[in-house]
Structure 1
Amino acid sequence: MEQPPRERGYDKTLIAAIFALLVTGLVILYSTSAYNGQVKFQDAFYYLKKQGFATILGIFCMYAVAHVDYHLWKKLAVPGYLVALVLSTLVLLVGNEYNGSKRWLSFGPLSFQPSEYAKVAVIVFLAYLVTRNIKKMGKLTSLFLVLVSILPIVGLVGTNNLSTAIIILGIAMILIFISSPKYMQFVWMCVLGAGMMGIFLALESYRLERIAIWKNPEKYEKGYQTLQGLYAIGSGGLFGRGFGASVQKLGFLPEAQNDMIFSIICEELGLVGTILILVLFLVIIWRFYVIASSCRDLFGTMLVSGTMAHLMIQLVLNVAVVTNSIPNTGITLPFISYGGTSVMFLLIEMGVVLSVSNLIK
């Protein structure tokens, strides 16, 4: 008879790495956003205060979720996924537009991005689906059904937020790979996913334009942000210009506190400082791997693996975009880029992982 999981204690290394990254992120955000905040809102602390509030709220959420038995989320997986579909549909109908994209829903004075909630909902839903069908995961039809089940949310989110759609699809592919004993089936699923993504890109001309800008950013007006970001990275050198000494954040690099904040990190802290920050991410990912490997409960393993996939994909994509290794997809750097909804739901995911770490058999 299977014994219930026992409390082992929360992963202290993971907690320390998370808080170190949060504090580092807030300091970097202030350095990056102070100029824009002063110019636009006459308040150098404008972005820091909003991000700080979201971070504190997210820490409370992380604490609460960490104290909940993660098996509870199995019961809420399907309803949670349906809520994500409803919210993503509402964004298309009544969402608030910012910089040409409808990504926000407002409830009175509060606004948030449902796409960030969708990432969490998809991780829980896929963990539930894989656990329920684990004996059939060796069949191509089962893998196909799992992938098809998340296509509605991919389509809805991808209409105005291609980067999040890519992340959701990537999470699904990684969980399918982990759960499937046959590699060739995974290869076919990757080919199918790539084909679907190609069709999706071709549906809108602006998506194909991004590829052209990626190849030759200097030939297009929209390539300005990419070029300025590369200038910032190149000027940082080995040790950087020094904290707060960035030139590009002074109006040259548009919205430096958002998607392109990694380039300011490179400019101010140089290669050495950038590597140290990336090491913090690697420590978190390493602890995810240890927790997922130690958990004998499949649902818990899938939850941690999905969270690990999310963090890895988003980190790699952001760095790749900023360095112009891939076309610009408008993706944020986890825990560091400005975005209250993003940091709050990331911390909720951290709470789920800590809950699993506390109940390892």
Structure 2
Amino acid sequence: MGNRKYHKNTADAGTTKYFDYSLLFIIIFLVLFGLVMLYSVSAYEGQDVFNDPFHYLKRQAGCAFLGFIGMFIVSVIPCEWWKKLSFPSYVLSFLMCAAVIVVGKGSNGSTRWLKIGPIQLQPSEIAKIAVIIFMAALLSRIPKQVKDLKSIIKVLLFVLPMVGVIAVSNLSTAIIVGGIAVLMIFVVSPKTKEFFVLGAGLVALGAIGVKMGGYRVTRIAAWLHPEDYPDEVYQTLQGMYAIGSGGLFGKGLGASVQKLGYVPEAQNDFIFTIICEELGLFGAICVILLFVLLLWRCMVIANNAPDLFSSLLVVGVMSHIALQVVLNIMVVTNWMPNTGIILPFFSYGGTSILILITEMGLVLNVSRRIKFDSNHPIE
């Protein structure tokens, strides 16, 4: 990638301070591209429901702006502070997620939000970044102790309460949070076969989580036997029609038919189907490649991080984005049951976009601390 700058470090002759401008450009491009697609997808519903075609765009853009402020602040705060704040942030986010069960605000049959005065937020999104920081701090203290299944399970027990309290009202996010923790442990652990056993255990826990909510059982049954559940599979089928009708290059930006009320709330987790309809297979591949580039730059930063804690922070962010992108695309292409997992940077969600952009500040923070021989630039 180009547009990378290097600043001389006066304290260390012969070394250069690094900042990944390529990553920053990809983040800005993803956010702007996401806003364009969100407006294209949501304008009809915004006009129909709120008499304002810019309703969703304005709210998302406002949260994205706050996210960039958060990203800048997070990128300049010393990493040692995040390590000190890891446990308090974990406890606070846990209490917020628990409060959702008691006094949470519901929407479309799900109770996932807290309303504090004029502010409405989704604590489970905050929990993702809290778990990343907490797990990075924990694993960086005991890297050599995570060497067998028993020790892996002990580490997971620290994050299990968070996963459990989120699963009560939001199983899909609980799966993401649990997946982030497992992938971070996988990077530290020298073992691999133990994770197959762990995977079987997590599947069993997931089955228990499904049984906790009858609608989850119905979603799986509808996925397996769509002909018996026409109402439950309506959104998925309409999304598939959108993907199929896009062809190679799509119908053109803004020309989607399925977004005109056929795909319910298309601006949320099914926005990728409208991208396929308007921009075609070419546009869909471009979106996927953008995420691949983002993850690649994160991997470069993680590999060159100055310490294990910093590296694990980046691994956690990578795990979060990769899991959500893969699971969202699998859902909208009907490779797995509908779970309500949104597409990062594109789907509508104020708390989600704010936390996601702020989270990228952690990666930029680590990139600022990389030092290297100026004769051998980082690639």
Q: Residues of 1 paired with 2:317 and 2:238: CA distance?
A: 32
2: distance between equivalents of 1:83 and 1:19? 30
* Equivalent residue number for residue 132 of structure 2: 123
Say whether 1:68 aligns with 2:77.
yes
- Provide structure 2 residue ranges, at least 5 long, that are not aligned to the other structure: 1-10, 372-379
Q: Which residue of 2 aligns with 1:86?
A: 95
Letter in 2 for 1:246: S
Find the counterpart in structure 2 of residue 263 from structure 1: 273
Corresponding letter in the other structure for 1:10: F
- The alignment partner of 2:17 has SS state of coil
Contact 1:51 1:338 in 2 (8 A): yes
1:246 aligns with 2:256: yes
The SS at the match of 2:233 is helix
Tell whether 2:313 aligns with 1:303: yes
Structure 1 residues 7, 331: CA separation in 2 closer, same or farther (over 3 Å shift)?
A: farther
How does 1:1-361 map onto structure 2 within 5 Å?
8-220=17-229, 221-361=231-371
Q: CA deviation at 1:7?
A: 7.3
Once residues 23 and 96 of structure 1 are traced to their aligned partners in structure 2, the CA distance between those partners, rounded to angstroms, is 30
Q: Which residue of 1 aligns with 2:6?
A: none
Q: Secondary structure at the match of 1:253?
A: coil
**1:23 aligned partner, one-letter code:** L
Contact 2:168 2:212 in 1 (8 A): no
Q: How far did residue 140 of structure 1 move?
A: 2.8
The residue identity in structure 2 corresponding to 1:30 is Y
Q: How many residues align?
A: 358
| Cα drift, residue 205 of structure 1 | 2.4
Instruction: Measure the CA separation in 2 of the matches of 1:136 and 1:268.
Output: 51
Q: Are the counterparts in 1 of residues 46 and 53 from structure 2 also a CA contact under 8 Å?
A: yes
Residues 90-134 of structure 1, C-alpha deviations (whole Å, 9 max, x = no match): 111111100111111111111110000000000011111111111
TM superposition shift of 1:191: 2.0
Residues 7 and 103 of structure 1: CA distance in aligned 2, closer, same or farther (over 3 Å): farther
Counterpart residue type for residue 170 of structure 2: N
Assess if the C-alpha contact under 8 Å between 1:217 and 1:226 holds in 2: no
Please identify, of 197-206 and 111-120, the stretch whose mean Cα deviation from structure 2 is larger.
197-206
Which 4+ residue blocks in structure 1 deviate beyond 4 angstroms?
none
Give the aligned residue type for 2:347: S
Whether the 8 Å contact between 1:311 and 1:334 is mirrored in structure 2 is yes
Contact map agreement 1:30 1:45 (CA 8 A) in 2 = yes
Letter matched to residue 153 of structure 1:
M
CA offsets per residue over residues 294-327 of structure 1, 9 Å max, x none? Answer: 1140001110001000000000010000001000
Counterparts of 1:213 and 1:195 in 2: how far apart (Å)? 20
2 CA distance for matches of 1:104 and 1:344?
Answer: 15
CA distance in structure 2 between the partners assigned to 1:47 and 1:191 by the alignment: 40
For residue 231 of structure 1, report the CA deviation from its aligned partner: 0.4
Deviation by residue 1:269-308 (Cα, 9 ceiling, x = unmatched): 0000111111111110000110111114000111000100
Amino acid at match of 1:338: Y
What amino acid is the match of 2:185?
I
* 1:117 aligned partner, one-letter code: I
- Which residue of structure 1 lines up, in the alignment, with residue 8 of structure 2? none
Equivalents in 2 of 1:61, 1:281: separation in Å? 21
Q: Which residue number in structure 1 is paired with residue 7 of structure 2?
A: none
Q: Give distance in 2, aligned partners of 1:209 and 1:112.
A: 28
Q: Is the 8 A contact 1:218 1:227 kept in 2?
A: no
| Kept in 1: contact 2:247–2:277 (CA 8 A) | yes
Contact 1:218 1:224 in 2 (8 A): no
Distance 2:326 2:74 in 1: 27
| Rounded Cα–Cα distance in structure 2 between residues aligned with 1:168 and 1:265 | 27
* Identical-pair percentage: 51
Counterpart AA for 1:242:
G
When normalised by structure 1's length, the TM-score is: 0.97
Contact 1:259 1:337 in 2 (8 A): yes
Calculate the aligned-residue CA RMSD, in Å. Answer: 1.4
The offset of 1:204, in angstroms, is 2.6
Query: Which string of whole-angstrom CA distances, capped at 9 and with x for unpartnered residues, describes residues 63-93 of structure 1?
Result: 1111111221110011000001100111111
Shift of 1:206: 1.7
Structure 2 counterpart of 1:54, one-letter code: C
Please say if residues 173 and 190 of structure 1, whose CA atoms lie closer than 8 Å, have aligned partners that are also in contact. no
Conserved 8 A contact 1:138-1:180: yes
